[in-house]
């Protein structure tokens, strides 16, 4: 689905993203940060629940943050988790996966898999995966690594799907985005630490993409990674819903953290809510 935007809306989103450098508001008072499930079998992370529902009833959204596989911003991640909980009607578990370069592939992927399995073992009837940027790569990698009768519904925003960095948009959108090929080369090299860039699960596009669960992919048309999302959607087939947001840069959805929702971020949250509240197949 192509989601249109006016020049004014595109400028507003970019302006909100620039404000992230100054920090984000505090977590709202209605956010419940107590553990929603027993934590003995779940890796490190933080709970945020604004849904008014229990994890045993509603299931859990497992949120895998971005940051080039190497960085984390806990304050912003907690606030995004709050928005995700409101939109999806589920408690959110924001995973603190191990970071490169100290912990390169496959450490972060192992943590995502352990969190998925641990949340189910702790009593969640369903786990929905949500990842942005590097986290989007990790949730797609997890789908290829999981061995389960019912794979989790998954949302990936602005993912790197081809770590060989072969997508045409790396060239055609150069200068339009907030990141560029040079940044991605450094990110991928640090994460892979010698592992092949043209193999799955670390490079999801190079895996066997048949039999995947329902997927929602979102990317901005101005991203250098726009074609990573397009190529993955084309290869994975009918189970993928691809939303391309006109004129939007990398991780455009984070604009919701620095003010009242814009049309773009409101649409994003509505699309997320629609996708995650469908009856599992």
Write the CB contacts of 51 (distance below 8 Å, at least 6 apart in sequence). 58, 85, 86, 88, 89, 90, 91
How large is the C-alpha radius of gyration of the chain? Answer: 17
Q: What is the DSSP string of 30-70?
A: T-B-S-SS--TTS-SEEEEB-SSS-HHHH-EEEEE--STTT
In the chain, alpha helices (H) = 7-18, 55-58, 74-88, 107-121, 134-145, 169-172, 181-192, 226-236, 263-276
223 noted as active-site residue = yes
Q: Is 41 a catalytic residue?
A: no
Of 51, 116, 206, 223, the catalytic one is 223
Q: How many CA atoms lie within 13 A of 268 on its CB side?
A: 29
Q: Which of these is catalytic: 51, 133, 169, 221?
A: 133
208 is catalytic: no
Among the options 65, 83, 250, 253, which is catalytic?
Answer: 250
Which residue numbers are catalytic? 133, 223, 250
């Amino acid at each position: 689905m192509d989601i249109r935007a006016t020049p004014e809306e595109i400028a507003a989103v970019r302006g909100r993203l620039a404000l992230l450098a100054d920090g984000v508001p505090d977590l709202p008072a209605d956010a419940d940060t107590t553990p929603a499930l027993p934590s003995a079998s779940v890796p490190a992370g933080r709970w945020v629940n604004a849904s008014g529902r229990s994890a045993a009833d509603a299931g859990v959204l497992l949120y895998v943050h971005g940051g080039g596989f190497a960085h984390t911003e806990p304050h912003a991640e907690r606030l995004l988790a709050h928005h995700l909980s409101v939109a999806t009607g589920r408690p959110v578990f924001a995973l603190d996966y191990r970071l490169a370069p100290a912990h390169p592939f496959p450490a972060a992927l192992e943590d995502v898999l352990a969190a998925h399995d641990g949340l189910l073992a702790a009593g969640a009837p369903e786990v929905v995966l949500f990842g942005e940027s590097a986290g989007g790569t990790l949730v797609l990698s997890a789908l290829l690594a999981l061995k389960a009768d019912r794979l989790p519904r998954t949302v990936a925003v602005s993912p790197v799907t081809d770590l060989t960095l072969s997508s045409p948009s790396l060239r055609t959108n150069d200068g339009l985005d907030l990141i560029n090929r040079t940044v991605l080369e450094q990110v991928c090299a640090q994460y892979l630490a010698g592992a092949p860039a043209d193999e799955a699960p670390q490079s999801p596009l190079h895996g066997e993409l048949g039999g995947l669960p329902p997927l929602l992919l979102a990317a901005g048309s101005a991203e250098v990674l726009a074609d990573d999302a397009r190529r993955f959607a084309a290869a994975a087939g009918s189970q993928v819903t691809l939303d391309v947001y006109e004129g939007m840069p990398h991780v455009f959805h984070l604009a919701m953290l620095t003010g009242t929702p814009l049309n773009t971020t409101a649409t994003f949250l509505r699309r997320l809510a629609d996708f995650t509240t469908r009856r599992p197949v």
